[in-house]
Amino acid sequence: MNVRNSSRTGTTSNARLKLNPIRGRRPTLMNCMIGELKVDETYQRSINNGSSRSLIVKIAKEWDWSLFQLLIVSRRIDGALYVVDGQHRLSAARIRRDLYDLPCSIYDFGSVAEEARAFGKLNQQRRPLGALDLFRAAVSSGLDDDALAIAHLLQRAGLSVAPHSNFTAWKPGMLSNISYIKKAYKTHGGGIVGRALRLIGRAYDGEVLRYAGTIFPGIVGTIAELKLTTKDDDLLEVVISGLSQAEWAEEIAHVVATNAIHRNRAAVRAVTDCYAESAADHDDGAQAA
């Protein structure tokens, strides 16, 4: 029976996928003595800078084999071993006195030029984890108190973190502005952030929160700057739901262009002004009654 990937899964059929010939030779896996491993500074990045030194010290202090990735090592014609990928891990290992060898993947590249090409390709292929991936990992680890608290606030608000940045494939109630939510949580605490999440969730119930990253800072800032209490949340919800997400995004963009200020600051100004106007109308109506 000829087995293919189903077209219904969105994957490409093996019969239609053109594969290039395999390049290079299979590596040899071995543990190399730390003293044997060298670094070619002609193509390697310099680690003589603050960020690299901080990373090296962090790896050394918190060495964890479950997080260790094999060093990519070139075995040159004379037998010398040069690290192509893993310079920070090697430097961290040298700081410790309880490590003597490291697991390595050994390649016979044939020339320094081939080593350098491999170094470049390895670094080009890396895709750093985004904020969404890092947040989910932090929650899953169960060790990040802030992440766990934010996840609880999202759940209480009936919202969830999107699995990716492609909003066209999100489900209602999904948002992706986790970086700002974390920042707001540190600055204003769970009370204000929780209220803001519930407000945006209720204002756009059943919708994908495509513009949450634009609108949410305005809600948080309005609550904080006007010192609104929970009694004011009903009116604030009316204000938010008075415009669609796209209309708020357009209004905030206009404030940015007019005042040359950051988008988050513009969001606060837009929502605050609208709330103040609505509150004044509400007070006038109450007095007339």
pLDDT tens per residue across all 289 residues of the chain? 344 444 444 455 566 888 999 988 899 999 999 999 999 998 898 898 888 999 999 999 999 999 999 999 999 999 999 999 999 999 999 999 999 999 999 999 988 999 998 998 888 887 777 899 889 989 988 889 999 999 999 999 999 999 888 999 999 999 999 999 999 999 999 999 999 999 999 999 999 999 999 999 999 999 999 999 999 999 999 999 999 999 999 999 999 999 999 999 999 999 999 999 999 877 655 555 5
Axis crossing angle, helix 212-225 with helix 245-259, rounded to the nearest 10: 70
Q: How many other C-beta atoms can be found within 10 angstroms of the C-beta atom of residue 141?
A: 10
Chain centre to alpha carbon of residue 31: 34
The pLDDT score that the predictor gives to residue 207 is 98
Long-range contacts of residues 180-183, Cβ cutoff 8 Å, at least 24 apart:
180/213, 180/216, 180/217, 180/264, 181/150, 181/216, 182/135, 182/146, 182/147, 182/150
> Which domains does the chain show, CATH number per domain?
20-125 (3.90.1530.10), 131-288 (no CATH)
How far are the Cα atoms of 120, 181, 192, 220, 259 from residue 187, in angstroms, in the given order?
40, 10, 10, 10, 25
pTM exceeds 0.75 for this model: no
Residue 287's pLDDT is 58
Token code pair at residue 275? 């709330």
Q: Take residue 184 and report the two structure tokens written for it.
A: 């707001």
- Predicted local confidence at residue 285, as pLDDT: 59
Distance CA 224, CA 174 (A): 24
Amino acid 181 reads: I
Q: How far apart are the first and last CA of the chain?
A: 80
Q: What is the pLDDT of residue 42?
A: 87
